[in-house]
Structure 1
Amino acid sequence: MKTFQLEGTPRTEIGKKAAKAIRKEEMIPAVLYGGESTIHFNVTKDAVRKLIYTPEIFIVDLTIGDKKTKAIIKDLQFHPVTDAVLHIDFLEVFDNKPIVMEVPVVLDGFAEGVKAGGKLSLEMRKLKVKAVYSAIPEKLNINIDKLGLGKTMQVGALHFEGLEIMNAKNAVVCAVKLTRAARGAAAKGN
């Protein structure tokens, strides 16, 4: 997994009033959970832009004052109208403790159903996995060569070494849907 360098400044005042004042200074209030204590800090909007607005996942090398730690983004809060980032929650990660994280899905291959005139549809862009952070890949590659016309690939059919998939087993990851042209060709063939 890729790493991202981020520096934060510790803050002593917490609460709505303090958070509002921080946002007026073009900063984002953030909290680090998971360690021996909860740490409140601020980060600049420019510093986190490339971390938030990307489909990729990162381990964050976080420096808050004189404390250095590894973390992941656990939660983001956006303004309902302006879409500005209001708050970021980070989770400290350890080498021996498993974490739950959403990993992007990438479809590999050329499905048989697409060759027959169907349309490939990716239903789940990310899958929720549980593992130690060092075992989590940047993306989950799924081979769809054998996926036929009108068939689906469900979460229960997938297996990745060292990862536990947390999504429902019957959830559809991708499907090859029948198009009108494929239905017409099938009707003419009968």
Structure 2
Amino acid sequence: MSLTINALTRGDQGKGVSRRLRRNHKIPAIVYGTDKAPSNITLDIFEITHLLENEESYTSVLDLMVDKKKEAVIIKDLQRHPAKNIVTHVDFLRINLKQAIVTSIPLHFNNEEDNEAIRLGAVLNQFVTSVEVSCLPTDLPHAIDVDISNLAMGEHISLTGLNIPKGVVITALTHGDIEAYDQSVVAVQEPKKMAEIEEEASVVAEDTDDENTENSDTDKDKLDS
């Protein structure tokens, strides 16, 4: 099922114009890429908000209808109001369906409730929540599933251990030295004891006090000189 978002060409620019648009339930956006000139456009706030309620919108090829002309795009960047979490600006990237694109895909960690070690008190540490991939737009996955049901205490899954769909490549593993870039994604580990946590906190506090004392002595020396 294709996802469609409608837009209108926007001529005026500037903060004043953007504020005026938002008062009328519109938001500014831009579309660029494929060697075409960037185009400033306007979106309906209710339509884009509804579209973004579908998680797949972030990793799907969208049909952007600009003045009734269709372009294939992906969402490249979003800006939101810091307090209201309302979308305030969208960047769309035009794509060529026959050329590979590079984008980030979320990781979905599944079957935690079936992991025996976690049921017995182990901790699941997620080091990576998304990975950058390269693929044709038609091969773009909405997410990469990571099954952790059989992960034992002390075991981990690295980038090379992910089940990647056919036609999709993790960009970090294309630099030649795979071992150097094959980072851990998720691990099942023994929970830290309270004494260890308190000891680490104490070390951090001591380091901070030493740094503050050193800075204070430096400032005093400057005043004395």
> TM-score, normalising length from structure 1?
0.80
TM-superposed CA distance for 1:127, in Å, is 1.9
Tell me the residue number matched to 1:94. 96
- How far apart, CA to CA, are the structure 1 residues paired with 2:15 and 2:84? 19
Please state whether the residue corresponding to 2:84 is helix, strand or coil: coil
For 1:138-149, list aligned pairs within 5 A.
138-149=142-153
Deviation per CA, 1:31-83: give whole Å up to 9, x if none: 11114221111111110113324433322111010311111100011122332
CA contact (8 A) 1:51 1:58 kept: no
Q: Which structure is higher in helix share?
A: 2
Tell me the residue number matched to 1:132. 136
Q: 1:78 aligns with which of 80, 88, 97?
A: 80
- How far apart, CA to CA, are the structure 1 residues paired with 2:88 and 2:190? 43
Tell me the residue number matched to 1:165. 170
Q: Which structure is higher in strand share?
A: 1
Q: 1:27 to 1:53 in 2, by over 3 A?
A: same
Identity %: 25
Runs of 5+ in structure 2 lacking a partner?
A: 174-180, 194-225
Is residue 2:124 matched to residue 1:120?
A: yes
Report the residue type matching 2:138 in the other structure: S
Tell me the residue number matched to 1:185. none
Tell me the residue number matched to 1:59. 61
Is residue 2:158 matched to residue 1:154?
A: yes
CA contact (8 A) 1:104 1:125 kept: yes
Tell me the residue number matched to 1:48. 48
Question: Cα RMSD between the aligned structures?
Answer: 2.5
Report the residue type matching 1:138 in the other structure: H
CA contact (8 A) 1:105 1:139 kept: yes
- How far apart, CA to CA, are the structure 1 residues paired with 2:172 and 2:108? 16
Instruction: Judge which range, 111-120 or 157-166, deviates more.
Output: 111-120
- How far apart, CA to CA, are the structure 1 residues paired with 2:126 and 2:91? 29
CA contact (8 A) 2:133 2:170 kept: yes
TM-superposed CA distance for 1:143, in Å, is 3.3
Instruction: Judge which range, 171-180 or 84-93, deviates more.
Output: 171-180
Is residue 2:11 matched to residue 1:7?
A: no
- How far apart, CA to CA, are the structure 2 residues paired with 1:4 and 1:164? 24
- How far apart, CA to CA, are the structure 2 residues paired with 1:31 and 1:18? 14
Question: How many residues align structurally?
Answer: 180
